[in-house]
Structure 1
Amino acid sequence: MHDSADREDLGEWPNPLGMEGIEFIEYATTRPQALGQVLEMMGFRPIARHRSREVLLYRQGRMNVVINAHTSSMPRSVQPTETPVIAAVALRVRDAAAAYRRALDRGAWAVPTHVEVMELNIPAIHGVGTSRIYFVDRFREFSIWDVDFVPIPTVDKQPPAVAGLHWFGLVQYIGIDRMADWCEFYRELFGFAELPDEQRFGILPKGRILRSPCGTFYLQLIEPEPGIVDIEGSESLQRLGLGTPDVPAAVAALAARGVEFVASRQVHADERGALTRSWLGDVMFELVHHDVPADAGASA
């Protein structure tokens, strides 16, 4: 953490929270082994277990994915269900306490924490649905994984990324006529910026694209199409976007690992992107053409 003098620095600048990307994505499910098999097909490897809870850490390159099968007694928590859901996203920030306080000052709802012995208190606010948004400032030489998790013996802690895969962003489903509300939420609390409609990525260009203030990932907000599907009241984080400098190479590498991709007249793999078929009810990944970040070789 940083001293109080540093914590006064967060203000009205393009990156108000000192954001530096995504630290981890968390899934909640009662079928952790089944989801783990899916992640391994996608190139992730299990590298550590939580000290006291049924939680596993998977990694490839700089991407961390947590599978949480622990039933929480805290109110408004995402409880594990048979169909995996994206329960949380953790943002890397310069100072977690300062970022948390600024978010609350801007109207965010705090998530109460219950910390066990030998566990870190990671501040969090409520996100879409029952999901959480964590603020993490320990991600360099000493990280949150060094405290709460025990490495799995004989496993490489830094498994390489398949075909340069890295975080590109998340897709969020929103309710009808909620686009302005969610754009304001991400703009006011975090400093996200809306991209022009003509600036699009991948093969599923619907909705509104927001760029993170650190420029390392994007959010895609998608409203239901009237008369086709109504998700009012069930807003959620729907899928992960993975960037790769060579989509066909990534598709070939993942296909060799058993991953199947959607192939129809409307949606099919090409140089811009690809969409995996869904597993376990609703788990899928979207590949997007995107160069590997300059610091992608840094330790997670």
Structure 2
Amino acid sequence: MNTSVLPFLPRIEGIEFVEYATRQVDTFGALLQAMGFVPVARHRSRQVLLYRQGNMNVILNAHPKAQHVPEGDGIELRALGLRVPDAEQAYAHALACEARPVATRPGPMELNIPGIQGPGGAAVFLLDRRAGVAFYQVDFLPLPGVSFEVPALAGLHLFGVVQYIQRGETARWCDFFHQTLGFEPLPDDVRFGVMPRGALMRSSDESFFLQFVEAPEGAEDAHWQEGFTRIGLGAPDVAAAVAVLEARGIQFVDASLLGGRDRGALTRSLEGGIQFELVQHAA
């Protein structure tokens, strides 16, 4: 990886959005609403919806011509949008570091959002707000009678993203995210939540984390899908958040199997095999 091309210090300012791809719009939309997200806007030209909760943005992409939309009942976490001070500069730096670009085809009146490929071809998009405008204020049209300001359930906020990678690839991907985007590795004795495997990295603004989990030994013949796997939601009181979500129909893995609720909680496999992880963390 060539990191000497540009005298540029990678820096990000937070997660702008996470994106799921699925053809199960109603089913997955209902699951998101049970998790506290509310649909607030529709894309100008594509079958794409924006859901919000607190300062979190979740995009549901069901556009027939979109890449990587799974067939049937599949639901995949396919993209992560990172807010940076200058998207053009950050993108140029990432390409100079030999990152692979994501092909984009913006329509009329839509932003051209640059992106690079992460594990398994998942997209990492780079956005800025130099004009003081978020991308969804340009590419999306508000749904009638719905406010963009949606209160967060039980103080939920985006904590991080878990990524599955192939065996022996941890060092490569940690170096990739460090050189291109300025993430810093954490010591092995620093752990969060109830799923402690893998390597952890923290964003330069210390607002969220990436977790890399390699395929386990003996799983060479098993199906191991490299890419973004699930999001972690921070909660100032995990037990209280679990109680709120269970009342809304979300089922969780038995706490006794994960060491209690002091550090976090994990939903059971939901629609399309999707899971959400709760992590004890004050925003």
TM-score (norm: length of structure 2):
0.92
CA distance in 1: counterparts of 2:179 and 2:223, whole angstroms: 23
- The answer to whether the Cα contact below 8 Å between 1:174 and 1:231 also exists between their aligned partners in 2 is no
Deviation at residue 280 of structure 1 after TM alignment: 2.1
- The answer to whether the Cα contact below 8 Å between 1:100 and 1:135 also exists between their aligned partners in 2 is yes
The 5 A counterparts of 1:52-201 are 52-72=45-65, 77-81=67-71, 82-138=73-129, 141-201=132-192
Stretch deviating more after TM superposition (139-148 or 245-254): 139-148
Q: Helix, strand or coil for the counterpart of 2:257?
A: coil
Q: Helix, strand or coil for the counterpart of 2:148?
A: coil
Q: Helix, strand or coil for the counterpart of 1:112?
A: coil
Which residue is 2:3 aligned to?
none
Deviation at residue 11 of structure 1 after TM alignment: 4.0
Q: Helix, strand or coil for the counterpart of 2:241?
A: helix
- The answer to whether the Cα contact below 8 Å between 1:71 and 1:80 also exists between their aligned partners in 2 is no
- Select 1:25's aligned residue among 7, 15, 18: 18
Deviation at residue 288 of structure 1 after TM alignment: 0.2
Aligned residues: 277
- Select 1:207's aligned residue among 198, 202, 205: 198
Deviation track 1:100-127 (CA, whole Å, cap 9, x = no partner) reads 0010011111122212111111111112
- The answer to whether the Cα contact below 8 Å between 1:23 and 1:139 also exists between their aligned partners in 2 is no
CA distance in 2: counterparts of 1:145 and 1:208, whole angstroms: 32
Which residue is 1:273 aligned to?
264
Deviation track 1:208-231 (CA, whole Å, cap 9, x = no partner) reads 111111111001111122125756
CA distance in 2: counterparts of 1:166 and 1:83, whole angstroms: 25
- The answer to whether the Cα contact below 8 Å between 1:18 and 1:95 also exists between their aligned partners in 2 is no
CA distance in 2: counterparts of 1:140 and 1:59, whole angstroms: 22
The 1:37–1:268 alpha-carbon spacing in structure 2 relative to 1, beyond 3 Å, is farther
Q: Helix, strand or coil for the counterpart of 1:181?
A: helix
The 1:214–1:140 alpha-carbon spacing in structure 2 relative to 1, beyond 3 Å, is farther
